[in-house]
Structure 1
Amino acid sequence: MTYNMSADIDDVIELNVGGVHYTTTRKTLTSDKNSRLAELFDKDNQSSSSLIRDGKGRIVLDRDGVLFRFILDYLRDDTIQLPDGFREKRRLEREAEYFKLDGLIQSMHTLNDTHNGCITIGYRGSFQFGKDGLADVKFRKLSRILICGRVNLCRDVFGDTLNESRDPDHGGPTSHRYTSRFFLKHQFIEQAFDMLHEQGFRLVGCCGSGTSAPAAELKPGIDAEESRWSHYNEFVFIRE
């Protein structure tokens, strides 16, 4: 048996993708014959001779180096598996479009379909007033932003900003579990809205309630005037 070392070495490709270095094979890079990578790295394609190399001889691709690992994963296995809380699906889809990986784009759409659903955001708040009961509203106060919905969907959208310590139900697959006990580690309702918008959710409904007078007995430290303006609001978002 003759071992052709030169042929094997020629099929090992060193890449510099946006400053991130990868080692792969020509077989992997050309596995999708209709892709831009196949056009670049096919031995019979003349365009491969025009590839730019860095100082160490690695072929330079001026694309997102971090996301390129998912491109390679797809080319190796013909499937895609993203980590929990992955927040760059749209950027990855753009990379797939650039490399002409129609199969990966379709897989991304299918993946998004399994993460469709509703998330409800609720918060209890009040308005902070000036000293001595002046009617000059200073700012809005939020005590906590509550998150309700399917567990894996909430994690997918809010990632590490989600506080799960109040959720006692850890049994069963998260794809089928729902919770009304999550809340956010911050108190910025607009940030929560931005995160939902970035993940393709839209507002479909909202409701609110408030008090018109303070309770008969207030807890120590609670301002009577401020308590008159306490309110609770909920916002329902959907991705489909």
Structure 2
Amino acid sequence: MFNLNSPDDNRSSLQDPVALNVGGEIFTTTLDTLTRCRDSMLGAMFTGQIPVLRDNRGNVFIDRDGKAFRYILNYLRSGFLDLPDGFADLSLLRREADFFQIRPLLEAIHHHEATLPLSVRGGPLAAMLMVNVESKARLLHFNLRHGPENYVLRTCSVQALAAELFCTWKSFLNLLCKHFSYTTSQGLASPHLCNSRQNRLKLEWVPKPEKLPQDQYDKQQYRGLTVPGAESTPSDEVVNNRWSSCEITDRQGFLEELLKVALAEGFKIDLVVPDPAEVLNCTSLRMVKG
């Protein structure tokens, strides 16, 4: 049995502590907590702007999900969104926060979702990733200037690397485009999918040898490949117009970074060629998710 209180009744009957029955779950809190966001539905209910419903024990009754309300109430108490590891009801919590019109909480949920792996935010139950990596040594001949008319012919070995990736989960390739960056004479540049309609990504780069002058490296239109540094954040200071980053100098370094991202998104190694025991030295790799 439930009783409906008018707005005028609310003003006289609501006092601390407040007992709430939310979907069968009982909570006890204060008016100050419930009205922390004045422009929310809870703020309107507990400042007497709209009527409240009470159960037969006198608790304010709200016909919403009680388990999700626990996190809403804790947010109103502390101003922080505290969720346990592996929290699986984020969509429900977002829906409840939207119902109560608690806009700061909705923003906190959105920020939390942005930090989650793609697989947690929602992705296919099954996906396949195919990777082919090759490395070729090339000899580069160039003139090194020692004076106005004094040039010396030099030879330098460069390592040209290429990785071709196909993935049935296109969002994962887009994630890799954000993780890896090309270094060029103009600064950092993001890779792009081979075709907007294809699930393919090709990366080609040449690490700069120590013996090769920078002007000769740029003249050949070579580019390097980097990933964010271990302690790099968007708030880091920019040095020479580049974020703190780590250069990928060989096939092993690329595969190590790729595996780190893929494993975090729920992929597992399915096939390694030529030697399954030497995954960081492989030429072909197949990973599956699901």
Identify the TM-score tier after normalising by the shorter chain.
Answer: 0.3 to 0.5
TM-score by length of 1: 0.46
More helix by share: 1
TM-score by length of 2: 0.39
Of structures 1 and 2, the one with the larger relative CO (CA 8 A, separation 6+) is: 1
Structure with greater Cα Rg = 2
